[in-house]
A and B are shown apart, each in its own frame.
Chain A
Amino acid sequence: MAKDVSLSGVERFFKDDEIIVSKTDLKGRMTYVNDLFLKLADYTEEECLGEPHAKIRNPEMPRCIFKLLWDVIQDGREIFAYVVNRSANGDHYWVLAHVTPSKDAQGNVIGYHSNRRVPDRAILENTIIPLYKQLLAEEQKHANSKDGMEASMAMVTNLLAESGKEYDEFIAGLI
């Protein structure tokens, strides 16, 4: 899927007071997307609902970030992550994603919810884009994708260990 579509190199933008919203079921299949989502991803609602969220995954995203994201939300916690998504035509757009588990009145996780805001451009340029390039390069060094992801995850773990912070506190300093 993702590999079949080339990247246009064109970046799409949205406004500071706008939020991209999507909801998925427990397996990550989309159950709701707002109109801003559709506008940026360049899909119709019908094309998205029931499809995996990975539909808008950009090949330039390190896979270890998604691994981290799923590990955290499946543990019932929220996560913030900088993500670059890909539009249907190959354009891309950077978001600061806030993913949270949705719970019923009894506290059971019934799905996941993602609000995406406009990211801080300086943080993107100075920290996130260079970091993701490093992680991606590490992943691409390995023929086996699982080995690659473990290697890039180890880099993230080392980075956090050096900062002396858990991921949530680390990323809170980068928002």
Chain B
Amino acid sequence: MFGSEEKVAISKALKVCKAIADGDFEARIIGISEKGEAGELLQTINLMIDRCDAYVRESQACLEYVRDNKYYRRILEKGMTGSFLTASRTINNATQVMADKVTAFTSVADDFEKNMKNVVQTVASAATELQSTAQTMENTAGQTSEQATTVAAAAEEASTNVQTVAAAAEELSSSIGEISRQVTQSNDIAGNAAREAERSNDQVQGLAEAANKIGEVVELISDIAEQTNLLALNATIEAARAGDAGKGFAVVASEVKNLANQTAKATEEISAQIGGIQKATQDAVAAIQGITGTISEINQISSTIAAAVEEQGAATQEIARNVEQASAGTSEVTTNIVKVTQAAGETGQSASEVLSAAGELSRQGEVLGQEMDSFIVELRKVV
């Protein structure tokens, strides 16, 4: 049925086809000298293997790239025919779909990484800031507490001082009362003295009048003595005319004349005495007037003192009122400072808790960052 040439051809074809059937795509038919359909058969077998070989090499290479996360390697569709071409296109389409998904996924992963890094960074810096703030707060609370203690001590001291001032004001007040009483007494005494001086003045006036009256009487006596002297002179002259008869008479007249002269002399002395009395009463009047003026001055000074004392009293009352208010103020300060101390203590406690929480936040932030980094590394392995 077959000639020897065909038999050789079939034998060549059979050998290669068996190798191909076993998956050995290196096998080819070499040295095809056969003519006609036998030669064509052998050439076609080679062509068939070449196409299969090309498809296998291409698809394998393409999928190896895909395995290594590279999606730019496509099967060359040129030279591919029929089902080879269809299969190649299918693989290329699948590769493109994977490439698109990977690109999309990479973009998502990039965004995710960027966002998460921002978040981690934000958490870290927030934690740091929080720590710093809490630390400051704790310090401030401590300082507040210390200052509150100082203020409490100062308030206590102020309270003591206010009490001292209150006591002093009270003493001042009673001292002012005493002064006021003394001034009143002094006023009374001055009034009495003024009245006494008035009375003395009246008495001195009476004395002066009496002296004047005595002066008038003395003048009358002096006039009488002068007339008596004139009468004695006349008697003497008459006695002389009467001669011896008148001799006795002349002696009496001379005696009367002596008496009148003595009376005149005595009244002169009394007048001089009366002048001395009048001079003395005038001095007394002047002295009493001086006393009255002095008393008046004393009265004026007392009034001034009384007014000043009154002002002092008002001022002392004002001081007492202020002291009372100050006392209320220090008392309020003391109450408030206790609250402040309590609040500072609570703030310190809170700050301490916040500090501890911030530390935990910072640690958690670090853990988050590390977890994120590992996750991103694993994520990158996927694409």
- Which residue on chain A has the smallest CB distance to residue B85? A17
A32 to B24 Cα, complex, angstroms: 14
Q: Counting CB contacts under 8 A, is B156 at the interface? A: no
Q: How far is the CB of B236 from chain A (nearest CB, A)?
A: 184
- Which residue on chain B has the smallest CB distance to residue A165? B72
Q: Are B81 and A115 in contact (CB under 8 A)?
A: no
Q: How far is the CB of B45 from chain A (nearest CB, A)?
A: 11
B interface, over-half SS: loop
- Known contacts being A23-B26, A45-B31, A102-B26, is A34 close to B50, with CB within 8 Å? yes
A24 to B51 Cα, complex, angstroms: 18
A98 to B61 Cα, complex, angstroms: 11
Q: Are A117 and B28 in contact (CB under 8 A)?
A: no
Q: Counting CB contacts under 8 A, is B79 at the interface? A: yes
A34 to B61 Cα, complex, angstroms: 22
Q: Are A34 and B76 in contact (CB under 8 A)?
A: no
A-B contact count (CB 8 A): 63
Q: Which A25-82 residues have a C-beta within 8 angstroms of B?
A: 32, 34-35, 45-46, 49, 78
Q: Quick one: which of A23, A46, A115, A172 contacts B79, CB cutoff 8 A?
A: A115
- Which residue on chain B has the smallest CB distance to residue A49? B30
- With an 8 Å Cβ cutoff, the count of chain A residues facing the other chain is 28
Q: Counting CB contacts under 8 A, is A173 at the interface? A: yes
Q: How far is the CB of B54 from chain A (nearest CB, A)?
A: 5
Residues from chain A with a CB closer than 8 A to the CB of B46 are: 34-35
Q: Are A111 and B76 in contact (CB under 8 A)?
A: no
Residues from chain A with a CB closer than 8 A to the CB of B70 are: 169
Q: Which residues of A contact B (CB under 8 A)?
A: 16-19, 21, 23, 32, 34-35, 45-46, 49, 78, 96, 98, 100, 102, 110-111, 113, 115, 117-118, 168-169, 172-173, 175
A17-B78, A35-B43 given; 15 more Cβ-contact pairs under 8 Å: A17-B79, A17-B81, A18-B79, A21-B50, A35-B46, A96-B76, A96-B78, A98-B58, A113-B53, A113-B57, A115-B50, A115-B53, A117-B79, A169-B70, A169-B72
Q: Which residues of B contact A (CB under 8 A)?
A: 26, 28, 30-32, 43, 46-47, 50-51, 53-54, 57-58, 61, 70, 72-74, 76, 78-81
A-B contact pairs, 16 of them (CB 8 A): A16-B79, A17-B78, A19-B51, A19-B54, A35-B47, A45-B30, A46-B31, A96-B78, A102-B26, A113-B57, A115-B57, A117-B79, A118-B78, A172-B72, A172-B73, A175-B76
